[in-house]
């Protein structure tokens, strides 16, 4: 399949334009040409600091705010601003950070409980409010957020509870994740959470959450909410017995160590699936949305999209499992959102809605709040499509055939690695840097796969790629030449 030889011009190059791929001589395209942003008009007087989004069966978009309101947006996909209408569905709630719809009920994750709301008289306003579960506690601390998921395949909603002040666990079950069944039973699932920013499922149906840099978290990351796992911050372990968890309480990690060392000492400890290098890929990881549209959102079907509140960006995540645990890469996707990206929602039709808020921390976007959407224009960007770890290096796939002369040249690539201190103090610099050698490059016959033979892979390290020298068969540079792969295990080692 692979042969490191030059590829002459063929009739395939003439077809690139028909496939939506940029050709030599075409104008240089930007992110906006592939995924244009549309800003929805927010009525004057509405403070839409969006905390959660959900699409309803009638085509309306439910938007929950950090101020405890829920608005229903009619015609959210319309290009005519006059047709986009906001109506308030509910208010008086407590910082809603989760919405899910089922059987006529809108399920709402607020600070102190999972609730469900219904409009029984069809006047456009919720008039029936029920508590589904209020197992956890709050003590008034501003940082005791509760983030809720959509329904999983078993009908559960997952709730991730932020620590008190994001440092300690002063209220019952702070630092834990629960699955809440349709009949309201709360099932303790995972501990070790610090400061979540969003929850979401991947294509396989596994649940993940975004964790933010801080104590015991050297950088922001994506973590698998594997039942029974300890996710790294020990403050919530005090509730292990109260939660009725099977087995002994996990050992506390050693501050100043490395995650790759501690996972060998603590069986329950689960390393992050993907680190988001700080601040290169953002500073406040947030909402999660997977592309389950089968290609309606472009060439990244099955992949995950993750927001960042501080950077006002959405990034792309490619996951794989090695030795039964997740790892993978994050890559830039779309910048220039108007406010700090918090909730993300992918519709079945292939539209990504992004809610924005700058409240509390500020954001690069600058606006205090926003509601935006983006969809695929039909043009295919020249991008790194996926990265997979191999026993001797990495395999990279691309959205379009590469130019063989540049892609086969090791000088077209740069690769460095680093990790983070696993410690009780806040965050970590990049430490233990290495510079692996790319010994050999092989390009597949179709030009869409490149295999890199790399010496000295580093388990537990982020492997930072820069492909500045790689060109497409049409002579174009990559739209985003950078990628960051978290290597928790080497396949076959």
For residue 274, the enclosing domain spans: 38-375
Q: What is the rounded CA–CA span in Å between residue 30 and residue 337?
A: 14
Burial class (CB in 10 A: 0-12, 13-18, 19+), 16: buried
Residue 300 makes CB contacts below 8 A (sequence gap 6+) with 291, 316, 385
Residue 106 lies in a domain: yes
Identify the CATH number of the domain in which residue 405 sits: 2.60.40.1220
Is residue 371 domain-shared with residue 398, that is, in the same domain?
A: no
Task: Tell me if residue 233 falls in helix, strand or coil.
Answer: coil
Is residue 309 domain-shared with residue 172, that is, in the same domain?
A: yes
Is residue 460 scored above 90 in pLDDT? yes
Q: If you search the block for the tokens 């309606």, which residue do you land on? A: 296
Distances (CA, A) of 290 to 2, 149, 344, 351: 31, 13, 9, 11
What average pLDDT does the segment 310-333 reach? 98
What average pLDDT does the segment 114-122 reach? 97
pTM of the full predicted structure? 0.94
Burial class (CB in 10 A: 0-12, 13-18, 19+), 348: exposed
Residue 493 lies in a domain: no
365-396: per-residue pLDDT in tens?
999 999 999 999 999 999 999 999 999 999 99
Please give the pLDDT value at position 25.
57
Q: What is the rounded CA–CA span in Å between residue 198 and residue 343?
A: 7
Identify the CATH number of the domain in which residue 157 sits: 2.120.10.30
Rg (Cα) of the chain, in Å, rounded?
23
**Among 360, 375, 390, which residue terminates a domain?**
375
Is residue 317 domain-shared with residue 348, that is, in the same domain?
A: yes
String of DSSP letters for 396-464 = EEESSPBPHHHHT-GGG-EEEEEEE-B-SSB---EEEEE--EEEEEEEBTTSSEEEEEEES--TTEEEE
Is residue 364 domain-shared with residue 406, that is, in the same domain?
A: no
Structure tokens belonging to residue 292: 């389950």
Between 71 and 493, the higher pLDDT residue:
71
137-182: per-residue pLDDT in tens?
998 899 999 999 999 999 999 999 999 999 999 999 999 999 999 8
Please give the pLDDT value at position 418.
98
Residue 242 lies in a domain: yes
Is residue 486 scored above 80 in pLDDT? yes
Q: Residues 127, 79: contact at Cβ < 8 Å?
A: no
5-55: per-residue pLDDT in tens?
323 333 343 344 434 455 555 677 999 999 999 999 999 999 999 999 999
Residue 22 lies in a domain: no
Total tally of structural domains belonging to the chain: 2
Is residue 370 domain-shared with residue 401, that is, in the same domain?
A: no
Cα 323 to the center of its chain, rounded Å: 22
Please give the pLDDT value at position 16.
43
Please give the pLDDT value at position 117.
98
Is residue 354 scored above 80 in pLDDT? yes
Is residue 462 domain-shared with residue 361, that is, in the same domain?
A: no
Burial class (CB in 10 A: 0-12, 13-18, 19+), 248: exposed
Nearest Cα neighbor of 283 from 213, 332, 330, 214 is: 213
Q: What is the DSSP letter of 77?
A: T
**Among 375, 408, 435, which residue terminates a domain?**
375
Please give the pLDDT value at position 27.
72
Is residue 191 domain-shared with residue 278, that is, in the same domain?
A: yes
Please give the pLDDT value at position 26.
65
Is residue 402 domain-shared with residue 368, that is, in the same domain?
A: no
Please give the pLDDT value at position 362.
83
Residue 14 lies in a domain: no
Number of other residues whose CB lies within 10 A of the CB of residue 65 = 24
Please give the pLDDT value at position 361.
76
Q: What is the rounded CA–CA span in Å between residue 86 and residue 135?
A: 33
For the chain, give the number of residues: 493
Residue 29 lies in a domain: no
Question: What are residue 129's DSSP bridge partners?
Answer: 117
Is residue 318 domain-shared with residue 358, that is, in the same domain?
A: yes
> In 278-359, where does DSSP find H-type helix?
none
Residue 430 lies in a domain: yes
Residue 2 lies in a domain: no
Is residue 371 domain-shared with residue 394, that is, in the same domain?
A: no
Report the DSSP pairing between strands 437-443 and 449-455: antiparallel
Residue 183 makes CB contacts below 8 A (sequence gap 6+) with none
The region that residue 194 occupies, defined by phi over 0 for left and psi between -120 and 50 for alpha, beta otherwise, is alpha
Nearest Cα neighbor of 189 from 150, 155, 229 is: 229
Is residue 240 domain-shared with residue 130, that is, in the same domain?
A: yes
Number of other residues whose CB lies within 10 A of the CB of residue 486 = 27
Is residue 457 domain-shared with residue 441, that is, in the same domain?
A: yes
**Among 375, 392, 410, which residue terminates a domain?**
375
Q: What is the rounded CA–CA span in Å between residue 31 and residue 35?
A: 6
């Amino acid at each position: 399949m692979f042969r490191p030889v030059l590829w002459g011009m063929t009739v395939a190059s003439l077809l690139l334009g028909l496939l939506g791929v940029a050709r030599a001589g075409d104008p240089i395209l930007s992110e906006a040409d592939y995924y244009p942003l549309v800003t929805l008009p927010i009525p004057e007087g509405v403070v839409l600091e969006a905390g959660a989004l959900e699409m309803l069966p009638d085509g309306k978009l439910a938007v929950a705010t950090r101020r405890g309101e829920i608005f229903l947006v009619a015609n959210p996909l319309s290009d005519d601003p006059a047709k986009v209408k906001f109506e308030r569905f509910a208010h008086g709630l407590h910082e809603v950070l989760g919405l899910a719809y089922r059987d006529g009920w809108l399920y709402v994750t607020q600070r102190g409980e999972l609730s469900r709301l219904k409009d029984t008289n069809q006047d456009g306003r919720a008039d029936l409010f029920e508590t589904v579960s209020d197992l956890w506690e709050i003590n008034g601390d501003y940082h005791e957020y509760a983030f809720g998921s959509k329904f999983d395949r078993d009908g559960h909603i997952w709730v991730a509870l932020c620590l008190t002040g994001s440092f300690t666990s002063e209220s019952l079950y702070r630092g834990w994740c629960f699955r809440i069944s349709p009949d309201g039973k709360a099932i303790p699932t995972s501990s070790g959470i610090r400061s979540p920013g969003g929850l979401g499922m991947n294509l396989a149906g596994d649940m993940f959450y975004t964790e933010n840099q801080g104590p015991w978290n050297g950088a922001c990351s994506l973590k698998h909410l594997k039942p029974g796992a300890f996710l790294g911050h020990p403050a919530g372990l005090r509730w292990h017995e109260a939660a009725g968890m099977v087995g002994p309480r996990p050992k506390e990690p050693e501050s100043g160590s490395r995650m790759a060392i501690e996972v060998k000492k603590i069986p329950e400890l689960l390393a992050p699936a993907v680190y988001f290098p700080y601040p290169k890929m953002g500073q406040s990881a947030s909402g999660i949305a997977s592309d389950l549209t089968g290609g309606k959102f472009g060439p990244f079907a099955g992949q995950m999209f993750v927001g960042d509140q501080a950077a006002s960006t959405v990034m792309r995540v490619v996951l794989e499992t090695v030795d039964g645990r997740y790892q993978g890469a994050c890559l830039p996707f779309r910048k220039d959102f108007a406010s700090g990206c918090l909730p993300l929602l992918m519709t079945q039709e292939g539209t990504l809605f992004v809610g924005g808020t700058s409240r509390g921390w500020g954001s690069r976007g600058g606006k205090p709040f926003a509601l935006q959407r983006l969809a695929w224009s039909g043009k295919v960007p020249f991008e790194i499509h996926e990265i997979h770890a191999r026993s001797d290096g990495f395999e990279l796939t691309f959205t379009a055939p590469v130019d063989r002369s540049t892609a086969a040249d090791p000088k077209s690539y740069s690769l460095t690695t680093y990790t983070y201190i696993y410690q009780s103090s806040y965050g970590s610099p990049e430490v233990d840097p290495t510079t692996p050698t790319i010994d050999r490059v092989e390009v597949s016959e179709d030009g869409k796969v490149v295999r890199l033979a790399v010496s000295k892979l580093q388990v537990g390290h982020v492997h930072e790629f820069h492909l500045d020298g790689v060109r497409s068969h049409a002579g174009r540079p990559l739209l985003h030449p950078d990628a960051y792969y978290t290597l928790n295990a080497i396949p076959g080692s």
